[in-house]
Amino acid sequence: MRIAVAGTGYVGLVTGVCLSEVGHDVTCVDVDENKIKLMESGVSPIYEEGLEELMQKNMSAGRLHYTTDYKAAYAHADAIFIGVGTPEQPDGSANLSYIASVSRQIAESVEQDCLVVVKSTVPIGTNDKVEQFIHDFLKRDVKVEVASNPEFLAQGSAVHDTLHAARFIIGTESKEAEATMKAIYEPFGLPIVSVNRRSAEMIKYACNDFLALKISYMNDIANLCELVGADIEAVAKGMSYDARIGSNFLHAGIGYGGSCFPKDTKALKYLAHQNGYTLRTVEAAVDVNAEQKTKLFHKASERMITFQGLKVAVLGLAFKAGTDDLREAPSLDNVKLLLEQGAEIVAFDPVADENFKKRFPGGRIDRGSITYVKNPEEALKDANICFVFTEWKEICDVKPKSYKDLMSIPLVYDGRNIYDTRDMEQAGVEYYSIGRMAVNDKK
């Protein structure tokens, strides 16, 4: 099947590459000429495990193409996937301007009957509007239907999540559109759940917000564990054996980040308000997460008189390991606070450092400064305090003894609970994590 994909971010590019991998002829469309040239050279513009290899493989097979010429790409496509961004607006609503721009381009370009597939996360009812919008601007007498096909990709494992998905959700309003969607996904050999469009749109939000709720609940329980002397990891282990709860998303930390959970919780909260309803559980998750991000900074502030002039090691900048994405990353809030307090930050991240430099260039910023280094040990050398924000393997591999040997003051605040508290105590490190008693508090 001839498929065009609008947008080459996480959703669009991964979708296009994986559709080509199962045999479809795919053209990925983007307005950025430099990005297109980069992809044509076989280089992925995003860091995602396994993506670049599949790009090169399917380009060589002649099934994967890139272009800025949307008119040519859309003209004779059997299906056009929309994978552009729907960023959060100040009031929490989704910005649909990119969806509208692509929809109009499609309407003015298609020369044959086709199915438009909205893969972007959009508020409930958006697909109805997209279909009407396209019909309003159609230039030719062709039939265009719109289907909802939300993505469920986790950054860092997006390729695997697509090729080995638990299910594909398709939302359609006709048997013909449903048949086309099933034909597109049949080569994957995976379960397909077929519903109407609005249900498909809601499934996306309901899934993401449920997982965000689970994370915030565990972080809330972790905070209480610290106060009453319980251990969140022992609590999570006990909970995980309950089949009604499961073992996933029980890991306490410094909050969720990325492109989905923060945006989608706020969007559903906004949608509920627009309809005169309050999603109290979702609002609680948003509030807990906002406070959780800087929990360790405030805990360290109680321990230290000041950060002014202190060398602060920051290990990990991405919102999670396996990606270079910084959207809603806890590191952003904490680094900003540290710089305002006059800290001399030395930061390490194996992948996301270049993106971080775009927001915090090296050198003097506010009352402090930031320097980027190539390994954790260099960041720890003579540091007065260390914050761990991402669980990269390079960071997990640092031995407890290294903190004692390298740091001027072996004081560590771990937002990912990487280390065993006893190992850090035996190494002579003053160690604080999430939901576990600090070694000095146990005495």
Instruction: Kindly provide the residue ranges of all beta strands, DSSP E only, lying in 222-359, ordered along the sequence.
Output: 311-315, 344-348
Distance between CA atoms of residues 155 and 102, nearest Å: 24
**Category of 372 on φ-ψ map: left (φ > 0), alpha (ψ -120 to 50) or beta:** beta
Cβ-based neighbour number of residue 43 at 10 Å: 12
Q: Which residues contact 289 (CB under 8 A, 6 or more apart)?
A: 212, 215, 216, 219, 255, 256, 261, 262, 265
In a 3-state reduction of DSSP, which class is residue 220? Answer: helix
Distance between CA atoms of residues 389 and 128, nearest Å: 41
φ/ψ of residue 64, rounded to 5:
-130, 125
Distance between CA atoms of residues 82 and 102, nearest Å: 8
Distance between CA atoms of residues 77 and 110, nearest Å: 8
Instruction: Kindly provide the residue ranges of all beta strands, DSSP E only, lying in 95-204, ordered along the sequence.
Output: 114-118, 144-148, 168-171, 192-195
Instruction: From residue 269, give the alpha-carbon distance in Å to each of 58, 92, 138, 274, 285.
Output: 40, 8, 34, 9, 10
In a 3-state reduction of DSSP, which class is residue 296? Answer: helix
User: What radius of gyration do the chain's Cα atoms show?
Assistant: 24
Tell whether the torsion through CA atoms of 151, 331, 48 and 396 is positive or negative. negative
> Which of the residues are catalytic?
260
The single residue listed with the structure tokens 């321990």 is 303
221-230 contacts at long range (C-beta below 8 A, 24 or more positions apart) = 221/252, 221/435, 222/252, 222/434, 222/435, 223/292, 223/295, 223/435, 225/435, 225/436, 226/435, 226/436, 226/437, 229/437, 230/435
Angle between helices 10-21 and 51-60 (to 10 degrees): 50
Cβ-based neighbour number of residue 366 at 10 Å: 15
> How does strand 430-432 pair with strand 168-171?
unpaired
φ/ψ of residue 80, rounded to 5:
-125, 115
Distance between CA atoms of residues 219 and 228, nearest Å: 14
